[in-house]
Chains A and B, each alone.
Chain A
Amino acid sequence: MATKKDALLISGTLLTLFLVAWHLFTLRQDFDPKGFTEDQLMTMEFNGDIVRTSDGGYVWNPEKEKVKGVPGPLSVLEKARTELEEAFVIKGTNDHGIAYLVLYTVTRFGAGFLAASVVAIMLGVLLGLNKVLFQAVNPYIQILKPISPLAWMPLLLYTVKDPKWTAVLVVFMAALWPTLATTAFGVNSLRKDYLHVAAILQLSWFKRLFKVILPGAAPTIVNGLRISFGSALVAVVPAEMLLGELGVGYLSWIEWNNLDIAGVIFAILVVGVVGVVLDSGFNKLAGLVTYQE
């Protein structure tokens, strides 16, 4: 218990240190007109570097400040506050609230990952049970596995002609291979004893699959799913960016196009939070099907 408390304390301290350092490094002094001639000040105002305030002084132009250097934690916080306030607001075709963007990304990710998992587990079991088939197909899996899922995108876009489905398919491609390879391995290396027991008990094909083979290979399959999960999560962000599909990945790109760096940092943080939430959900599910030998 004490160690957990210590770890929490250290985490908190590290975060505070990081935020303070970030704040200090990105801090800019207020504009000081001393040392500038009247002409220079006019040029700067004309260029939009500074603006005149109501009381006759000059300050840095807040609009231009947004893209100058890296924004500090306070401006990111301010950005987050406004985004979260408008989380459920749809302002235009490409300007949906952050809640919608998260929903789109999670749906896209979920559809691609689930479809890939079902296909990969079914094919994996088939290959795992048939050594000849496995040896015949394995070279192709080995070639296809290392291809970045994004490399498929032009071909997929050309084939399905719809960016919405292309994004799902990119996630699908990212999630397919690790699960396929590990499922085939897990089923293939299932202890022969379990199959012997199933054979003696004359279990039907269906029972053999669901009572013995799948639960027996479950820990290995879950490991494959975990790798697939990570690679699908990595693929969904650039897929959205390249295809212009609304989502948290696209948010980061939109904010970059807006030259709103605070917005980019906010989008990165949202991607992180979505990933953590999905991952913990996955781990809960994984815990249900694994066993100790």
Chain B
Amino acid sequence: MAFLEIDHVTKYFPSPSGSGQVCIFKDATIKIEKGEFVTTIGHSGCGKSTLLNIIAGLETMTEGGIILNGKEVTGPGLDRMVVFQNFSLMPWMTVFENIRLAVRAAYPDWDREKIAAHVHKYISLVGLKGAEDKRPTALSGGMKQRVGLARAFSIEPKVLLLDEPFAQIDALTRGVIQEELVQMWNATRNTVFMVTHDVDEAILLSDRIMLMTNGPSARIAEIVDVTIPRPRSRDTIIEHPHYYKIRNHIIHFLVRHASHGETDAGSGAEQAGGAAPLVVKF
């Protein structure tokens, strides 16, 4: 049994007109192994963030189920920590207090010193030493998300859920933080489920990339295996012969096929709704 199983998850929203329901996505199914880094890419409105929130337990699914480590997910919990697109730091708390809130919740029987030491360890891991007593307002977007990452890693969750974590960070800083994330992930080998718009980011970080068709009634059309060996880094990965093949494939899918739900590779046979996604290997 896989570590994290997303099994035929379907989500309906009440339609804006008030009558009936709109299907956001249908039959999302994927098995994620322990320590795997899986990314979802799709156009806005395909429901990928909703899927992430469902895994986090923050939203309910209409049909289907999610099984983590043999247990069904029924609500939010400390075993699945989210790194939010808009950081979601408490603005009335300092950097230290924000992370301490999480550490205290995760390790209720630790004493003060142990908690403080743990918080400081993660603050220095993301290079925020000296900013412990600053409030989020005083930090740049990049620094805020470093706090978000430190908070998420500090409680050592079974699954890390990254919801477009670098979308609000300027392009230059984004690259730096992506590398930091790679290093932190290398050290912990958490299971990660990420949602992003950024194809390069997905290739750099992921083991597998799920491509979703456009909503409504979106589905997982393809799963791309990224076989580029690790460790990867931004300046060497682009020299790998598969890099541009994968990149072009994903972009072709997003530009040409996402709206039709057809797949690029393979025989081009029409897929019936609910059919298993095509696995593409490079």
Contact A202 B88 (CB under 8 A): no
Which of B's residues lie within 8 Å of A, judged by CB? 56-58, 75-78, 80-82, 84, 86, 88, 90-93, 101-102, 105-106, 135, 137, 155
Q: Pick from A196, A201, A216: contact of B105, CB below 8 A.
A: A201
**Interface majority SS (helix, strand, loop, mixed), chain A:** helix
A293 to B92, CA, bound (A): 8
Q: Pick from B57, B75, B86, B105: contact of A193, CB below 8 A.
A: B86
A77 at the interface (CB under 8 A from B): no
- Minimum C-beta distance from B131 to chain A (A): 16
17 A-B contact pairs sorted by A residue (CB < 8 Å): A196-B56, A196-B82, A199-B57, A199-B58, A200-B80, A201-B102, A202-B77, A202-B78, A212-B90, A216-B90, A216-B92, A291-B91, A291-B92, A291-B135, A291-B137, A292-B91, A293-B91
**Interface majority SS (helix, strand, loop, mixed), chain B:** loop
Q: Knowing that A199-B58, A200-B58 touch, tell me 8 more A-B residue pairs with CB under 8 angstroms.
A: A193-B86, A196-B58, A197-B84, A197-B88, A200-B76, A201-B101, A216-B90, A291-B135
A215 at the interface (CB under 8 A from B): yes
A292 to B90, CA, bound (A): 10
Residues of B within 8 A of A203 (CB): 105
Which of A's residues lie within 8 Å of B, judged by CB? 191, 193-194, 196-197, 199-203, 207, 211-212, 215-216, 218, 291-293
Residues of B within 8 A of A291 (CB): 91-92, 135, 137
Choose among A201, A212, A216 the residue with the greatest number of B CB atoms under 10 Å from its CB: A201
Residues of B within 8 A of A218 (CB): 92
Contact A293 B88 (CB under 8 A): no
A16 to B132, CA, bound (A): 52
A215 to B93, CA, bound (A): 9
Contact A196 B92 (CB under 8 A): no
Contact B81 A200 (CB under 8 A): yes
A196 to B106, CA, bound (A): 15
Contact A194 B90 (CB under 8 A): yes
Contact B78 A201 (CB under 8 A): yes
Choose among A216, A218, A291 the residue with the greatest number of B CB atoms under 10 Å from its CB: A291
A202 to B157, CA, bound (A): 13
Residues of B within 8 A of A212 (CB): 90
Residues of A within 8 A of B101 (CB): 201, 211
Residues of A within 8 A of B57 (CB): 199-200
